[in-house]
Amino acid sequence: MPRKRIEKITTKSSGTKKIPKLKRGDIVVIYWHDAFSNSGGTWMSKEEVNAFVGGPIKVFTVAMYWSTKVEQINLIQTVVSADGSVANPFSIPVGCIKKVCKIGRLEIDSVHDD
């Protein structure tokens, strides 16, 4: 079995993270902890606040890898097959990432209509 290439990303806030060596177009699953807030703007009792601040939300995201910049991984959620244009870009801070798995590859230039 071939050995996976690992890339180390060092950031000021989170130290060193190991992620697979990725190229633009790789399809990845990223397991990460998301931040959250009570954006309703309502008053809360101390008990409600204590129940609310229970910890991070554990999520996973499946998307196309675009790039890594400073302290974030940049992803694309949607690719238009007709011309290869992209939509729904978003970033995940490296410090929030727990695990990255490459599951496939999309050659943007070879995307076609069926």
Q: Where do the H-state alpha helices sit in 1-114? A: 46-52
Read off the pLDDT of each residue in 65-92 and give the average, rounded to a whole number: 87
Copy the structure tokens of residue 51: 């129940």
Q: What is the dihedral of CA 56, 17, 103, 2, to 10 degrees?
A: -150
pLDDT digits 0-9 by tens, 20-64? 789 999 999 999 998 877 667 788 888 888 877 767 889 999 999
pLDDT value of residue 111: 53
> In this structure, how many other beta carbons lie within 10 angstroms of the beta carbon of residue 61?
16
Strand 97-105 relative to strand 26-34: parallel, antiparallel, unpaired?
antiparallel
Read off the pLDDT of each residue in 1-6 and give the average, rounded to a whole number: 52
CA–CA dist 73, 24 (Å, integer): 11
Spatial CA neighbour of 63 closest among 72, 73, 71: 73
